[in-house]
Amino acid sequence: MAVPVGIYLAINAGRSSAHGWGVAMSTDTALALGLLALLGRDIPDRMRVFVLTVFVVDDLVALAVIAIVYSDDISLAPLVPALVAFAVLLIAVRLRLQQRLVYVGLGVVLWAALSSSGIDPVVAGLVIGLAAPAYAPTRDDLQQATGLVRRFREEPTPELARSAQVGLVSALSPNARLQTFYHPWTSYVIVPLFALANAGLVLDPGFLADAYTSAITLGIIVAYVVGKPVAVVGSSWAVTRLSRGRIRPPIGNAAVLASGTIAGIGFTVALLIASRAFIGDDLDKAKLGALSAAALSAVVTWMVLRLTALFPVQRRARLLLGDSTLIQDLIPAVDPDRDHIRGPRQSVITVIEFGDFECPYCGQAETSVRELLTDTEIRYVWRHLPLVDVHPQAQLAAQATEAASAQGAFWPMHDRLLQHQDALSFDDLIEHAAALGLDVERFRADLASGAYSTRVAQDVESADLSGVSGTPTFFINGQRHYEAYDIETLTTAVSVERQRLAAIAR
């Protein structure tokens, strides 16, 4: 952020417009991610994560700058109730209070106190957002919510209905709930109104000629279009060198450069600061600079990615994906002596699925897995995650496959159970064993004694350690696959991983 600010100050040195340096510092993260979505599916997910991770900090710092630099004379007395309201807000979040009116009231108090203090009340949105925790629902939370729903199903009373509703809502993080609730309002009402209210310009030849030769407009354009790429590439290089390679971007050089060029989109926060730093013609010049920088940055980003696409496959993969070793999401790693493996015991590509034999989605995913395994170089691993709160027969079915495994028939039993998901009772499992030609008496004894419950529990523990709470969940070479599990999406993910490994090998 310092590099584009420095460029703007250099161009506006000695002018009163230097006070508007804050306009040239912040990336509009949402628009940047939106542009990446428009540029196509070939862009690696890690680039999107890199952009989000780096430039969300821009928003935080920019809002702090608004509070400190671009606010009116600050009065300290109203800050006391603002701090008290924020403290109470943190306590309410910690206690997981569900009463919305509590948060609405605290938000209003915080907003009014900041407005009275002279600090722009937009900061209230920042601190409330920071107070909203984000986390994935745990398996225990989901099981508790399911139990409440089951109690309501057995006894449909208003009290149990309310308990079930609260339990379901509580399983999700406040961040997720707020995003779902406010997203339509922000996307279709608030942001468009902001743009209409703040981005309007009267474009005529005289104004354009004057603006494009002014220090304000040129300073903003150069700061964003040149300064941001230089800053992102330079800081990434510096961090890599200073850490001796221990800390580096999880993407290749072309992706880092494209992340820098797309950082030149500073629409929302840039206009917000401009409206506080300038008035009259100077404000219009700042708006034109921000809008022009956003358009130019979008074009330059498209050019960088298009040029990268012209390289041969392996070279392109190295430029986009890099050669860094990623932190593994899967815990523990695949063990050929313990895990159930289909395909080669050793392979450069390993697809892991946490599954539940009673889960209908696992049954649907099986078709995609079968097609994926026509590629004989892929190693496929199944790990158990019976969701006993919603699939009461899944635990016994998982133990049945382990009992079959003791007789060398894990995969035949695995396939048969996914084909007969409506027949997983104890007697059904005995019939499946007989149909597969197993020693039925041994199988029956193993199943009745729960001999393999510990083995299933080990897979469940792996799911918990890996942050898995639902099925099916896939990992590719230890990295969690967050997208859909249709054959096209899985094949693309495997292809991207192959390209990354080929790039590292070179």
For 45-98, the pLDDT digits (tens) are 788 889 888 888 887 888 788 878 887 778 888 889 999 999 999 998 888 787
Does 212 map to a domain?
yes
One domain, residues 233 and 360: no
One domain, residues 494 and 394: yes
Q: What is the mean pLDDT of residues 2-31?
A: 92
One domain, residues 352 and 296: no
Provide the 3-class DSSP secondary structure of residue 333.
Answer: coil
Q: Which residues are within 8 A (CB) of 129 and not within 5 positions of it... i.e. 6 or more apart?
A: none
One domain, residues 237 and 273: yes
One domain, residues 311 and 344: no
Single out the residue in 262, 291, 324 at which a domain terminates. 324
pLDDT computed for residue 414 by the predictor: 97
User: DSSP per residue over 413-477, as a string?
Assistant: HHHHHHH-TT--SHHHHHHHHHHTT--HHHHHHHHHHTTTHHHHHHHHHHHHHTT--SSSEEEET
Question: DSSP secondary-structure letter at 224?
Answer: I
What is the bridge-based pairing of β-strands 479-481 and 378-384? unpaired
What count of other Cβ atoms lies within 10 Å of the Cβ of residue 129?
Answer: 13
Report the candidate in 374, 457, 366 with the shortest Cα–Cα distance to residue 416. Answer: 366
Answer for the pair 75, 118: CB distance below 8 angstroms, yes or no: yes
pLDDT computed for residue 41 by the predictor: 65
Sheet containing strand 479-481, edge to edge, reads: 340-342, 378-384, 349-355, 473-476, 479-481
The strand pairing partners of 381, in sequence order, are: 341, 352
CATH assignment at residue 379: 3.40.30.10
One domain, residues 377 and 301: no
One domain, residues 379 and 301: no
Single out the residue in 280, 298, 324 at which a domain terminates. 324
pLDDT band at 204 (very low <50, low <70, confident <90, very high): confident
pLDDT computed for residue 506 by the predictor: 65
One domain, residues 389 and 478: yes
With tokens 């990615």, the residue in question is: 305
Return left, alpha or beta for 478; rule: phi > 0 is left, psi -120 to 50 is alpha, else beta: left
pLDDT computed for residue 359 by the predictor: 95
Single out the residue in 271, 297, 324 at which a domain terminates. 324
Quote the CA–CA distance of 502 and 416 in Å, as a whole number: 37
With tokens 């007697």, the residue in question is: 427
Quote the CA–CA distance of 142 and 168 in Å, as a whole number: 8
Does 150 map to a domain?
no
Does 216 map to a domain?
yes
Does 238 map to a domain?
yes
Quote the CA–CA distance of 241 and 103 in Å, as a whole number: 45
pLDDT computed for residue 505 by the predictor: 66
Does 92 map to a domain?
no
What count of other Cβ atoms lies within 10 Å of the Cβ of residue 406?
Answer: 16
pLDDT band at 325 (very low <50, low <70, confident <90, very high): low
One domain, residues 347 and 394: yes
For 364-410, the pLDDT digits (tens) are 999 999 999 999 999 999 999 999 988 999 999 999 999 999 999 99
Domain containing 270 equals 1-71+203-324
Q: Which residues are within 8 A (CB) of 264 and not within 5 positions of it... i.e. 6 or more apart?
A: 27, 224, 225, 228, 229, 293, 294, 296, 297, 300
One domain, residues 315 and 345: no
Quote the CA–CA distance of 474 and 493 in Å, as a whole number: 11
Answer for the pair 114, 78: CB distance below 8 angstroms, yes or no: yes
pLDDT computed for residue 23 by the predictor: 93
Quote the CA–CA distance of 168 and 149 in Å, as a whole number: 8
Instruction: Name the residue with higher pLDDT: 170 or 391.
Output: 391
One domain, residues 270 and 349: no
Number of H-type helices and E-type strands within the chain: 24, 5
* Total tally of structural domains belonging to the chain: 2
For 455-486, the pLDDT digits (tens) are 999 999 999 999 898 899 999 999 899 888 89
Answer for the pair 340, 382: CB distance below 8 angstroms, yes or no: yes
For 264-281, the pLDDT digits (tens) are 998 888 888 898 889 999
Distance, CA of 489 to chain centre:
17
One domain, residues 302 and 436: no
Does 107 map to a domain?
no
Quote the CA–CA distance of 440 and 409 in Å, as a whole number: 13
Does 159 map to a domain?
no
Return left, alpha or beta for 157; rule: phi > 0 is left, psi -120 to 50 is alpha, else beta: beta
Question: DSSP secondary-structure letter at 186?
Answer: I
Does 191 map to a domain?
no
